[in-house]
Amino acid sequence: MTTDTRLLRLEDRTAIQDLGVLYGFIMDEFDEEGVRATFCEDAELHSGDGVFNAVGLEEILSTYRERWASLDTSNHFSHGHVVRLDESDPDRAYGLLSGHAEVVRGGQAFHVALRYKDAYRRDGGRWKFADRLMSYMYYLPAPERDAHLGDHDSVWVYGEPQSADWPEVRFTGASSEFLARFYR
């Protein structure tokens, strides 16, 4: 691999990691223009609980408008962001991003643990989301977080407690095989 190719790959990884962080700011500011700038026209947006299931930019925007209408405010934090560039296509990549959010919904404060499984595509010279799957370990009222952290039914955002999306091996019975593409 040439030095120029290695440099380009580092620049691509940095741009994708920036995209992941920028997403949190876009969500916190309810920024429709930001969504348009960071998702591909044919992107998909899904959630582990099945609430998000949008195909195409207009459906994604509609999904976010509905979500923003139910929120008073939010503050997203990005933690680790693992990015792998597609070896066969320099305009594609995939990644995992972990994060937290502080959310006020209906006057009630919630703490949220988030995980995103992403596919990225270079579109018009910029990296964008091609596919985003959001999932929760918990979405709990702030006063309840410590008492229910780690519970199976720790997603309380929709009223009745629902099952957490992860850890997948523990809560959904799914395999952790999805991780293998990041460490093998």
Q: Which domains does the chain carry?
A: 3-183 (3.10.450.50)
- Contact present, 120 and 104 (Cβ < 8 Å): no
pLDDT mean values, one per 10 residues, the chain (184 residues): 93 98 98 98 96 97 96 96 96 98 96 97 97 96 94 92 88 80 86
- Contact present, 106 and 72 (Cβ < 8 Å): yes
Q: How many CB atoms lie within 10 A of CB 174?
A: 13
Model pTM score: 0.94
